[in-house]
Amino acid sequence: SQTIHQWPATLVQPVGSPLSLECTVEGTSNPNLYWYRQAAGRGLQLLFYSVGIGQISSEVPQNLSASRPQDRQFILSSKKLLLSDSGFYLCAWSVLEFSGNTIYFGEGSWLTVV
Amino acid sequence: GQSLEQPSEVTAVEGAIVQINCTYQTSGFYGLSWYQQHDGGAPTFLSYNALDGLEETGRFSSFLSRSDSYGYLLLQELQMKDSASYFCAVTNQAGTALIFGKGTTLSVSS
C-alpha cells in the first residue's frame, strides 16, 4: 500500500531563517506531488505541484521554493522566512493520470515563524 | 482561473441531515471532489463526481450539476464525529492539481 511521510511535524523558526520541509511517498511510482499551505482557520492553498523529477509548477508567487530531486521526494524550502509563512503545510500525492480524482495528504507540518 | 464558493459555517444536531453547497467557476472541468478535515489533521477524500447526479457512500452523498456549476455534500444521520471542516475542490486548468474552496466548518451538537 502507498504511504506518505512528511517531516518535521512541528517547528518554530525565527524570521529570516531558512526552511526545509521534506516529503517522501512509498509504494507507488511516478506520482504527482503537491505542497499545500493552510493558514490558521483558512482554506487549502496550492503552493507547488510536480508531475515528474525536476518539474515544478508554482501556483502562488512567494519566497518559497520546491524541488523534486528524486521520483518520490518533494522538498519545500525558503531562504528567509517571513512571519506570514506561518501555517500548516501539507504534502500530498496522486497518481500520474490524475484527472481530478483522489489526492492523498501527509500528516502535515506546523510551522510557526516568530 | 478556478474559484469555489461554499458557506463558512454550518451547525446541526445529532441525527439531523445537513447539506453543504458548493458553486464553482473553472476554465477546465474534470469533476467536483469533497474532502473532510478534522481539527489538526490532514484532509481525507470523501467523494468525487465527474458526471451529473448523486453519488452515495454510506451516510454521505454528493451531487453534481455541471450545467449549474453546482454541487453539494449531503450528510445524513449526523454524529458528533462528523464535526469537521469540509472542502469542495476542482482541478486546475492543466488538470494536474486540485484547487480547494475555503471550507465549511460543520459543528454537530447533541
Side-chain-facing half-sphere of B91: CA atoms under 13 Å: 20
Between CA A7 and CA A75 the distance in angstroms is: 10
- Flag whether pLDDT at A112 surpasses 70: yes
Nearest CA in chain B to A98: B96
Compute CA B106 distance to the chain's CA centroid, rounded to the nearest angstrom. 11
- Report chain A's terminal Cα–Cα distance, integer Å: 38
Higher pLDDT, A62 or A9: A9
Cβ pair B44:A99 closer than 8 A: no
So what's the pLDDT on residue A97? 74
Between CA A37 and CA B19 the distance in angstroms is: 26
So what's the pLDDT on residue B93? 82
pLDDT digits 0-9 by tens, A6-42 = 999 999 999 999 999 999 999 999 999 999 999 876 7
So what's the pLDDT on residue A110? 96
Q: Are B102 and B8 in contact (CB under 8 A)?
A: yes
Question: pLDDT averaged over chain A?
Answer: 92
Cβ pair A105:B43 closer than 8 A: yes
Cβ pair A42:B102 closer than 8 A: yes
Percentage of chain A modeled with pLDDT above 90: 81
Q: Which residues of B touch A102 (CB under 8 A)?
A: 33, 45, 48
Between CA A94 and CA A34 the distance in angstroms is: 9
Regions in chain B scoring below 50 on pLDDT: none
Which of the four pLDDT bands, split at 50, 70 and 90, describes residue A99? low
Cβ-Cβ contacts under 8 Å for B39 (sequence gap 6 or more): B84
- Flag whether pLDDT at A45 surpasses 90: yes
Q: Which residues of A touch B96 (CB under 8 A)?
A: 32, 49, 51, 57, 98
SS3 A95: coil
